[in-house]
Amino acid sequence: MVKSKSAKNVHPCPTFVGLQVKYWRNKSGLTQSELSLRSTVKLRHLQEIEGGRVDIKIRTLGAIAMGLGIFPHKLLEPNINNSQALCTQCRHMLPKAR
């Protein structure tokens, strides 16, 4: 299979981070618009992050976490609801089931 020159090799983890942002936003009872205002991240960019379509900068991750009222590491921690979204390169870091 030949990839077109415009195709990007995107690491699958933006999908994971997007699911985390959406999970915590829903848990906080916020809409995307409300989180956008609280975090000062533009609504369209927040939508792209939640959709896993863009890589997120650490500064943006921090702004979103502040808007959610959580520490940034929470957006990077796998939980029971999203561990399947981790790519195979990152899945090895999960704790082993006992």
Residue 96 lies in a domain: no
Residue 44 lies in a domain: yes
- pLDDT recorded at residue 4: 42
d(CA 15, CA 22): 11
CATH number at residue 85: 1.10.260.40
Residue 5 lies in a domain: no
Tell me the range of 23-27, 82-86, 91-95 where mean pLDDT is highest: 23-27
**Cα 57 to Cα 61: distance, rounded to the nearest angstrom:** 6
98 domain residue, yes or no: no
Q: Does any domain span residue 47?
A: yes
* Long-range residue pairs from 54-60, CB within 8 A, at least 24 positions apart, any chain: 54/14, 55/10, 55/11, 55/14, 56/14, 56/17
Domain total for the chain?
1
* Residues of the domain holding 33: 13-91
Q: Is there a domain that residue 30 lies in?
A: yes
Residue at 32 is within a domain: yes
Overall average pLDDT of the 61-89 stretch: 84
| Contact assessment for residue 35 and residue 66, using Cβ atoms and an 8 Å cutoff | no
pTM: 0.77
